[in-house]
């Protein structure tokens, strides 16, 4: 079929418009990128979804690493029968002696409460699990899950309510504290039906697949690590000063180094009403209570 000269001239413009429409940037692009199973990482307008089916799970990772700061994600978890699945949001450094701060959301049978497991790895050693139920249904709306990390404490927060604190007792009691190793921020969904739901007794029902966790926001406000710069200089920049190239390091202000009275009350409430398991009170696993558990 013959094409007029006018139409022919319009084709490149039309093609450019089509390409532009298919390459619209997501608001997440400045912060994170898919880390595996890219075809299971789905952008839908202002939302991002991680999908799990019987072929693969999926995940994303931050484009930068950070030494201290706060990482948050607004997540709506897998609805319905999610038994056997785990959605994780966490920070981790690299190497065998890595540090890691974990939120792991353990799937459930329809009608059963979701459990959130937190854990810390310090110098490659974990086994610090705590489990809580939640005071809301995390599948019907978005809720914020955050980790605040500074030289004095690691705080896990749910909708800005602290649910766990790991304090720096390195100088006073010689207890290891995670520091001096930059961390990336990760999230993923995968099949863990060998342990996730009722100790692995309830398996994943793939007839309910795909399982989807949905993200409304991922926000990281921290001391961004610069690769290729002297390691000690970067540690000093992020550790010793309240100012850096990002501006003021608010997470290192005096009032951020410990919980205030209101936050302390929130923490006591959350743990007294919703704690399911605490490794600090498990003599079968730890006949001698871990040092960081003593107060």
DSSP H stretches of helix in 144-217: 170-173
In contact, 160 and 144? CB cutoff 8 Å: yes
Extract the tokens encoding 221: 């406000």
CA torsion sign, 259 to 260 to 264 to 267? negative
DSSP code at position 206: G
- Of 74, 100, 224, 234, the catalytic one is 100
Residues 6+ away with beta carbon under 8 Å from 180: 67, 235, 239
Extract the tokens encoding 182: 């930059």
- Of 74, 104, 224, 234, the catalytic one is 104
Extract the tokens encoding 148: 């605040």
100 has catalytic annotation = yes
| Burial status of residue 133 (CB atoms within 10 A of its CB: 0-12, 13-18, 19 or more) | middle
Helix, coil or strand: residue 238: helix
Count of H helices and E strands in the chain?
A: 4, 17
Active site residues: 100, 104
């Amino acid at each position: 079929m013959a094409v007029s000269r006018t139409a022919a001239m319009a084709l490149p413009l039309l093609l450019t418009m089509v390409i532009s429409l298919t390459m619209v940037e997501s608001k997440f692009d400045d912060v994170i990128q898919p880390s595996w199973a890219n075809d299971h990482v789905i952008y839908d307008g202002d939302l991002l979804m991680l999908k799990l089916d019987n072929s693969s799970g999926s995940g994303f990772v931050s484009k930068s690493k950070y030494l201290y700061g706060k990482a948050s994600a607004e997540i709506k978890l897998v609805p319905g029968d999610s038994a056997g699945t785990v959605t994780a949001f966490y920070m981790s450094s690299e190497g065998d002696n890595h540090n890691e701060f974990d939120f792991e959301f353990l799937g459930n049978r329809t009608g059963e409460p979701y459990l959130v497991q937190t854990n810390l790895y310090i110098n490659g050693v974990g086994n610090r699990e705590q489990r809580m139920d939640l005071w809301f249904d995390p599948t019907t709306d978005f809720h914020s899950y955050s980790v605040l990390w500074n030289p004095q404490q690691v705080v896990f927060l749910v909708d800005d309510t602290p649910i766990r604190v790991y304090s720096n007792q390195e100088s006073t009691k010689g207890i290891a504290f995670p520091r001096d190793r930059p961390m990336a921020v990760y999230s993923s969904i995968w099949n863990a039906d060998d342990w996730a739901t009722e100790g692995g007794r309830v398996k994943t029902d793939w007839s309910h697949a795909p399982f989807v966790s949905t993200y409304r926001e991922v926000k990281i406000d921290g001391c961004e690590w610069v690769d290729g710069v002297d390691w000690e200089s970067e540690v000093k920049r992020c550790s010793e000063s309240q100012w850096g190239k990002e501006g003021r390091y608010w997470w290192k202000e005096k009032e951020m180094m410990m919980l205030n009275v209101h936050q302390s009350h929130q923490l006591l409430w959350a743990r007294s009403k919703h704690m399911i398991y605490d490794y600090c009170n498990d003599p079968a696993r730890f006949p001698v209570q871990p040092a960081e558990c003593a107060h």
